[in-house]
Structure 1
Amino acid sequence: MAKIRTGRVGEQIKKELSLLIQTELKDPRIGFITVTGVDVTNDLSQAKVYLSVLGDDEQKTSSLKALDKANGYLRSELGKRIRLRHIPELIFKIDESIAYGSRIEKLLSDIDKDEK
């Protein structure tokens, strides 16, 4: 039962955070960010937010720093939009799975070209 609730809360946080980052945050350090997933602990005290950032490593680190700085604002806005007693602490992490998947796809296409 708890896993169903944490899943629903995680999806709601993902939806609201992506809207907040795109529309509300005006920090120029924040580049093009996509929220790819949110993992919430069973007690809803922490939420790991996985982000995909378009750009190089410097843009990724500057976007993470800007989001860490805006953490309090994001939590307060989430509190206004989601009815929870306690809003989870947000921990931002870079999601490398998209880059990893595109690298694997490129390697497979290179192998396919070599065989032909």
Structure 2
Amino acid sequence: MSKYRSGRINEEMKKEISNIIRSDIKDPRFTAMTSVTKVEVTRDLSYAKVYVSLYGNNKSKEETLEALKNSSGFIRRELGHRIRLRNIPELIIELDNTIEQGMHIDELLRKIKEHENNDN
């Protein structure tokens, strides 16, 4: 599969999964704000890693992640209706902490800059 095709599939799946999570899942455990940050489909289209970023406290993040993992079959079925692929990949949902890590690094850099300004 060419890189161009896999990139298109990744982006299309990311868009559709985001729409499904936002509008079709009615699980009461969804308490944290959820956004799909990245989707990586294997070359043979058998698996897709879905990286989600969750905003909220730790308890709500855990509940929302568990609800997402439990509803992966529903999401996969809905993808089958919305995307024209011969095989719809099995979804592996993982938590993406890159936004939080970026905020932490930004905070550290801000503190270093303040410390340097106070020394001068």
TM over 0.5: yes
1:6 counterpart residue number: 6
Q: Is the 8 A contact 1:78 1:87 kept in 2?
A: yes
How far did residue 38 of structure 1 move? Answer: 0.4
How far did residue 71 of structure 1 move? Answer: 1.2
What count of residue pairs does the alignment treat as equivalent? 116
CA distance in 2, matches of 1:40, 1:106: 33
TM-score (normalizing by structure 1): 0.95
1:38 counterpart residue number: 39
Percentage of pairs with the same residue: 48
1:75 counterpart residue number: 76
Q: Is the 8 A contact 1:38 1:50 kept in 2?
A: yes
RMSD of equivalent CA atoms: 1.0
SS in 2 for 1:83: coil
How far did residue 56 of structure 1 move? Answer: 2.2
CA distance in 2, matches of 1:47, 1:57: 25
1:111 counterpart residue number: 112
Cα offsets for 1:64-107 (capped at 9, x unmatched): 11111111111111000000011000000000110000000000
1:94 correspondence with 2:63: no
Q: Is the 8 A contact 1:3 1:42 kept in 2?
A: no
Q: Is the 8 A contact 1:47 1:90 kept in 2?
A: yes
